Amino acid sequence: MDHDPEHTVRATLEPHHSKIRGAILDGFAEVQAVDQYRRENDLGPRLYPRTVTNDIFDAVARRASSTFVGVPGVRVLHETQTVKFCFDDKVLLRFKKGDESHLGRNIQTQASLAFVDPQQDLPGMPSEAVKVEVLYETNVIGNEIEKVLVVARDGNRLLWFYEIGDDADSATGTVIPLPLAPAPDDDDMSMVKPKVGPKKADRKE
């Protein structure tokens, strides 16, 4: 069992950070170029947001696959509906669109549930490999990539993440602490009265 999975992931992926970020930015730019073509030729916008997400994933997956195929230590694992990347048999990653909680958006299938369960091994994958998602997060109107994150999760709980920034050689990370006990409500606090000691007897003049 890896006792410091974040260190393992960082050390393993660091030589590939620029390629990982580049695949996302290039795939996103490809979809924007298609959108521009649609506008210029009066083809109309896409009807459903999920279509945009699927198009971006398809473009990112193609870019990443062509980038990493043949790279020593990297396996590109194509499946029916997705693609995964295994680095040095230590890290297994997939690309996803991130939400406001820094979690990948998933349709809950048996395969997706197995991927986000750190204790569950995947068929044909090394059992010691740390599973992470590489997320892209956009601005409010969805026309620009704001962050590229490497995220570890346990089901719907975020364990830790770090950002692959413009300078892909450096990355900043955050460990998510366990939730603390809730603080008392203000109403409860207002009911707490300070203890008052016994009054001293009045001194006689």
The one-letter code for the residue type at 130 is V
Query: Cβ contacts of residue 112 below 8 Å, gap of 6+?
Result: 106
Position 173 confidence tier, pLDDT thresholds 50, 70, 90 = low
What is residue 2's predicted lDDT score, i.e. its pLDDT?
66
Query: Cβ contacts of residue 33 below 8 Å, gap of 6+?
Result: none
The one-letter code for the residue type at 174 is T
To 5 degrees, how large is the angle CA 55–CA 167–CA 102?
Answer: 50
Chain centroid, CA 139 distance in Å: 15
113 versus 70: the higher-pLDDT residue is 70
Do residues 152 and 130 touch, judged by C-beta distance below 8 A?
A: yes
Residue where the block lists tokens 């409860």: 188
Q: How far is CA 203 from CA 148, 197, 198, 199, 200, in A?
A: 74, 17, 15, 12, 8
pLDDT at residue 183 above 50?
no
What is residue 86's predicted lDDT score, i.e. its pLDDT?
97
Could you give the dihedral angle defined by the CA atoms of residues 93, 95, 96 and 102, in that order, rounded to the nearest 10 degrees? 50
| pLDDT digit string, tens, across residues 46-101 | 888 889 999 999 999 999 999 999 999 999 999 888 999 999 999 999 999 998 87
pLDDT at residue 190 above 80?
no
Phi, psi of 111 (to 5 degrees): -65, -45
For the chain, the structural domain boundaries read 5-190
pLDDT at residue 112 above 90?
no
| pLDDT digit string, tens, across residues 122-161 | 888 888 999 999 999 999 888 999 999 999 999 989 999 9
pLDDT at residue 176 above 80?
no
pTM above 0.95, yes or no: no
Q: Note the helical H segments in 41-76.
A: 49-68
pLDDT at residue 110 above 80?
no
Query: Cβ contacts of residue 151 below 8 Å, gap of 6+?
Result: 98, 102, 103, 104, 132, 133, 134, 135, 158, 160, 161
pLDDT at residue 204 above 50?
no
Taking each helix axis from N to C end, the angle separating 49-68 and 17-40, rounded to the nearest 10 degrees, works out to 140
What is residue 168's predicted lDDT score, i.e. its pLDDT?
59
Determine what percent of the chain is predicted with pLDDT higher than 70. 79
Q: What is the mean pLDDT of the chain?
A: 83
Mean pLDDT, range 24-53, rounded to an integer: 93
